[in-house]
Amino acid sequence: MIEIIPAIDIIDGKCVRLSQGDYHQKTVYNENPVEVAKMFEDAGIRRLHLVDLDGAKAHHIVNFKVLERIASSTNLIIDFGGGLKSDEDLRIAFESGAQMVTGGSVAVKSPEIFYSWIEQFGADKIILGADVKNEKIAVSGWIETTEIDLLQFIGDYINKGITKVICTDISKDGMLQGTSIDLYTKILTSYPNLYLIASGGVSSIRDIETLETNAVPAVITGKAIYEGRFKLNELNRWLH
């Protein structure tokens, strides 16, 4: 059964969503992310993907106080990402209540730091963020694209011990036009034991069903919930 993981993206302490990672295409959905997190928990959600978009842009953790408030106000299992570039950032994230962290840009630009995190904390706590455009890795809040091949990138980190990957197709993210199912199928064909978390493009319950049919282990969804494309109680079959 596919795991449903709602996303809360934070800018200026508020719950927002971007379109295709564009900071100029921002919609504020709630001034208080704690309210949103409690709504998810009340619906039976167990996991939360919390993204510090200010941190991604600033290259260091920024919205750790929001993380702290959500962690202290709910029992959600939180994975936190955005701007984690140093051991100090990681320390702050864990001390603020994250049970897991997601590293994307740091895994590209400072692999030795990311390797050390995997060794120190283990694959249960460290998730690889693979943000992709045309099957090439993108970094720094998706502002910068690279020539790094997605499958090679994932494979290299599986060899280092990574077991969980969040893969976001930037072209799909926030567009409500469906997921990159062909891309996820390609990844799982190459790495069938990977705990792949699909991210970007969910527009309906049918998209989630399609991912599940294709054996994708987990999915992150945000805008579809905020825009009312489906109600949280429609997720009940996967939550209980």
Question: Could you tell me the CA-to-CA distances from 97 to 10, 66, 93 in Å, in that order?
Answer: 16, 10, 7
User: Which entry of 54, 131, 169, 207 is annotated as an active-site residue?
Assistant: 131
Contact in structure between 47 and 76 (CB atoms under 8 Å):
yes
Catalytic residue flag (residue 182): no
Handedness of CA 130, 136, 137, 138 (dihedral sign): negative
CA 80 to chain CA centroid, Å, is 8
Catalytic residue flag (residue 9): yes
- Which residues are designated catalytic? 9, 131
